[in-house]
Every structure is written in C-alpha cells, then in structure tokens.
Structure 1
C-alpha cells in the first residue's frame, strides 16, 4: 500500500507529469546562465516602464518632501493658542500627522499599489499644505 500522504508532500515525479501546466516557458541553459549573471541594474534599465516609474517615484517623493516642509512653514506662521494642555497636545499631534502625511502617503502608494502614480497624484492633492497655498495665491 503506497503512502499517499508522503507523495502529496513531495515534488517527485512532477516534472514528468503531462497534466501539469506552467506559465513559464522552458529556457535553454545558456539563457538561464546569462540571466543569472546579469546585474539587476541592467535589467531595470532595460525596461522603459521601470525607468519611467522610478523617475515618477523620485519626482513625487520630492513633492512629498516639499509638502512636509510646507506644513512646517504653516505651523511656524500660525502658532497655536489652546486653553487646556489636552487641547494643545491634540493640536500638536495633528501638526505632527500633517507633516508626516505626505511621505506616509507616498510610501503607502509605493508599497501597496501595483500602479502607484495615480495614487501619488491623489496624494499631492490630499496632503498639500493648503493654508500655505491659499495664502500665497490670495
């Protein structure tokens, strides 16, 4: 009597199974050796979509840093006067979150999305230092 539990946990015989469907075409040994020898930077530079995404990521990171600096400028221009210590602590927590929000949005879009550029564009609008922008435009 064969031990089916052990067969289920091993890969033995799967290479000969004709019903097994894989999406990867089999590459010749020379191509596999050449691909493993190529550095990762060359692979990224060869794909134009990756280069565009990297440039867009850098651009939106710089915009996120500028927005964080903008929130610091807003806080320096508009000091808070609160009646209680709890009110002051909550106001300062809100200020801290406003400074961290642009960079946090950029990181979240980069990590969680397959297409981060639309999310980065939305983040520029949502986390912009609007008091500073409206004060400059008025």
Structure 2
C-alpha cells in the first residue's frame, strides 16, 4: 500500500539522510528550494545530479549507487517517465547495501507500476506529494 496517511507521512518525514535525485543547483527551482528547506530543517540532504559537483554545500553524486553513506529515503525530482529506472537503482542499492527504506515522488510525479515494484520489495512509497508541503503541514 502507498503511504497516504498522516501517521505514515510523519514516519517518512523522520527519515534522514535523504538522497535527492535530480537535485538542482539553480536557485528558484523546486528541485533546489525544497532540498534547501529540508536542509534548514535538520535533514542531511545528499544531492544526486550528474551535472554538478556540489549543491547546497554538499558533494553531488552522479548516481544513487555512487553515494558512499547510508541513505534512508530517496526523494525524486525527475519526470514520471524516469521513475521506473530510478526504482531499479533504488532496488539494486537496497539489495547491495540494505539502507533505503522509502521512495518519495514529488508533486506531479507518479508511476504506479514502479511504485508497486518498490512496495513489493518492502519499500514505503509516496507519490505526487511535496515533501516540503507535507513537512510544513505535519511538523512545521
């Protein structure tokens, strides 16, 4: 089952570090401002973006597999058409390292088939919700 209840969302909002797939180095973009907000609220943000070396004062990694530290939640800022491949990367990382517990697809991003695969593997999944909005509403 996808995570939709406030209790479930609160549980996911307690997870850190957060790997942000598609984290942007461009101020003003949601993929920059939302991770910046999370960072200001105590989250360890791990940017994943192959076109940047550093974002928000943190080293940026080309792929999720390149992140050397444990990751508890993967926050996705990429088009819905890329979610299947991202879930494949998450599942491979989980099989290899066992560290990812949840996938959060930001507002406007969803892929029911990929979400089902992630859930079948034991991951919690949120689709089409903004992490900043939910954090502000539930914990702010």
- For Structure 1 versus Structure 2, the TM-score category normalised by the shorter chain is under 0.3
Point out the structure with the larger strand share.
Answer: 2
With structure 1 as the length reference, what TM-score do the two structures score?
0.21
Q: TM-score, normalised by structure 2?
A: 0.21
Q: Which has the greater radius of gyration? A: 1
